[in-house]
């Protein structure tokens, strides 16, 4: 009986070709190079056909394909995780910039509907942004020591609210 792998995980040449083709196919899928997708699928099928012709069992062929994919995952994992971290940081920065722009519009006295139209969102979302930024501002400011008060910060959500364009009524004052 022929063995196709050694104890060190080295594959027979037929299976190594399958593993390499499977790794290349996964790298292409991750990179988004769709123009080469049929070629990489064909390369895996061709390597598998050659292995079958050499008498390699189907289970060993499937294992070689999984091993190739695992190698590609281990190779690509650090880079993909760095890309995700960078994208998440940019997303947070963009969201912060967006929220600050909405708050500047509110401070300028623009209506929620005007802001919503410019941002292409609902006016309820504008209210949510205002509430979220006021909540985070209230949480980030601590009361000064020695009994002093901090009167500069307003904590009410309707302090800058404009009349609703639909019913033209001003918000109730408390």
Task: Flag whether pLDDT at 167 surpasses 50.
Answer: no
Task: Flag whether pLDDT at 156 surpasses 50.
Answer: no
| Residue 37 or residue 134, greater confidence | 134
Give residue limits of the domains in the chain.
Answer: 13-85, 109-140
CA proximity to 128, closest of 162, 159, 102: 102
Give residue 164's pLDDT: 44
CA 49 vs CA 13, 44, 56, 111: distances in Å: 13, 9, 10, 67
Tell me the C-alpha distance between 68 and 34, whole Å. Answer: 19
Q: Which residue has the tokens 């519009």?
A: 105
Tell me the C-alpha distance between 167 and 122, whole Å. Answer: 16
Tell me the C-alpha distance between 5 and 64, whole Å. Answer: 10
Task: Flag whether pLDDT at 50 surpasses 60.
Answer: yes
Cβ neighbours of residue 111 under 8 Å, at least 6 residues apart? 162, 163, 164, 165
Span 23-40, pLDDT tens digits: 999 998 888 866 667 888
Tell me the C-alpha distance between 14 and 4, whole Å. Answer: 9
Give residue 166's pLDDT: 41
Percent of the chain with pLDDT over 90: 56
Tell me the C-alpha distance between 49 and 155, whole Å. Answer: 70
């Amino acid at each position: 009986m022929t063995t196709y792998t050694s104890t060190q995980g080295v594959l027979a040449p037929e299976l190594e070709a399958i593993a390499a083709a499977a790794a290349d196919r996964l790298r292409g899928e991750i990179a988004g190079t769709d123009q080469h997708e049929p070629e990489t699928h064909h390369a895996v099928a061709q390597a598998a056909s050659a292995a079958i012709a050499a008498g390699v069992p189907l289970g060993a062929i499937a294992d070689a394909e999984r091993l190739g994919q695992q190698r590609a995952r281990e190779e690509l994992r650090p880079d993909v995780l760095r890309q995700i971290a960078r994208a998440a940081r940019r997303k947070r920065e963009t969201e912060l910039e967006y929220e600050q722009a909405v708050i500047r519009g509110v401070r300028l006295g623009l209506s929620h509907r005007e802001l919503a139209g410019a941002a292409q969102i609902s006016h309820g979302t504008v209210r949510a942004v205002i509430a979220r930024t006021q909540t985070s501002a209230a949480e980030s400011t601590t009361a000064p020591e020695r009994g002093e008060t901090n009167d500069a910060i307003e904590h009410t959500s309707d302090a800058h609210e404009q009349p609703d364009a639909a019913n033209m009524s001003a918000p109730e004052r408390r």
